[in-house]
Amino acid sequence: MELFANLSDDQANLCLLILTASNIKAEVEKSRDGWNIRVAETDYSQAMEIVKQYFRENPLSDPALIVSSAETPPLFPGLGVALVLLAFYVAAEVNAAHSLLIAEFGCSAQEVLKGQWYRTLTSLMLHKDIVHLAGNMAAITVFTSAVTAITGSGIGSFMILLSGMAGNLLNAFFYKSNHFSIGASTAVFGAIGILAALGFGQKIRRPGRRINAWLPLFSGLCLLAFLGGPGERVDLMAHLFGFAAGIVIGLLYVFFCRQPPAPAFQTACLMATLALVAMAWLKFFYL
């Protein structure tokens, strides 16, 4: 059973030493992005706890880029966000408030620049129709789950939300007026930018051909071009700004998060995410 995936040489060697010292048999296999460590299913829980305990007592010098394979279902965090988007859409349709919500909480560049910051967040949770919603639900499920698998649910959710808001804010500054947008796609491309930055940070610290570190950023740009390029009802600049914001936020995580974040910090980030959402929607109760 896979215990960790995509480890660097040093991380894999360290984990093997920890497990061997605890009399737990482990196997190592090479993957495209690093080393994977597998243990017997009966040893999984004990092995995970032993490694976590070591990391708590002896923090790693590298960013926390170790991916646990099965502490939570891989798609659970992203699926949770997607279901929230669905709930907002259904609630608006049932109460015949869809058009009103879009008008009052969509990302109007002019209104954002007047100080209505909440629109940069609330607009991420609104969609024009079921087709628009379905596309963003699928994307947010995949890319949010990928980010949170690396960074943890609290930090990952907070970073993705910030990247979406920052992308919408930059878009408002770019257009200044006569521009209106809704949809979670800005946050989706923020998540893609974060993933590209995390991949860059993981590879740039490894000895050898560091030119390979630029491949995740190039791959992110390819995804941006493929998924967010010109098309009907596509806000290209919002996608670009969301992606750029995600890269900056991801790099900040890589270079400032020098050890695995404590569970309390993950919880604090999750609470901050929920608080931001609640604050942004506060105006709804005064309509």
Reported as a pLDDT band with limits 50, 70 and 90, residue 62 is: very low
d(CA 205, CA 222): 23
Handedness of CA 18, 20, 26, 27 (dihedral sign): positive
CA 109 to chain centre: 25
* Per-domain boundaries in the chain: 2-58, 76-286
Q: Is 141 exposed, middle or buried (0-12, 13-18, 19+ CB in 10 A)?
A: buried
State which fold the 2-58 domain adopts: Alpha-Beta Plaits (3.30.70)
Judge whether 185 and 138 are in contact, CB under 8 Å.
no
* Look-up of token digits 């087709």: 131
Q: Is 34 helix (H, G, I), strand (E, B) or coil?
A: strand
Domain covering 76-286: architecture = Up-down Bundle (1.20)
User: Cα–Cα distance between 107 and 221 in angstroms, integer?
Assistant: 24
Report strand pairing: 180-181 vs 107-108: antiparallel
**Per-residue pLDDT tens over the stretch 257-269:** 766 677 888 899 9
SS3 track for 187-256: HHHHHHHHHHHHHHHHHHCCCCCHHHHHHHHHHHHHHHHHHHCCCCCCCHHHHHHHHHHHHHHHHHHHHH
Residue range 147-206, pLDDT digits in tens:
988 888 899 999 999 999 999 999 999 999 889 999 999 999 999 999 999 888 776 665
CB 198 within 8 A of CB 220: no
Alpha-carbon distance of 147 to 76, in angstroms, equals: 12
- How many helices, marked H, and strands, marked E, lie in the chain? 12, 6
pLDDT in tens, 12-21: 777 887 888 7
More confident residue, 10 or 244: 244
pLDDT in tens, 216-232: 777 777 877 777 655 55
Give the model's pLDDT for residue 208. Answer: 56
The vertex-117 CA angle with 169 and 172, nearest 5°, equals 30
Sort residue 256 into left (φ over 0), alpha (ψ -120 to 50) or beta.
alpha
What is residue 192's predicted lDDT score, i.e. its pLDDT? 93
- The whole-number pLDDT of residue 44 equals 82
CB 92 within 8 A of CB 144: no
**pTM of the shown model:** 0.74
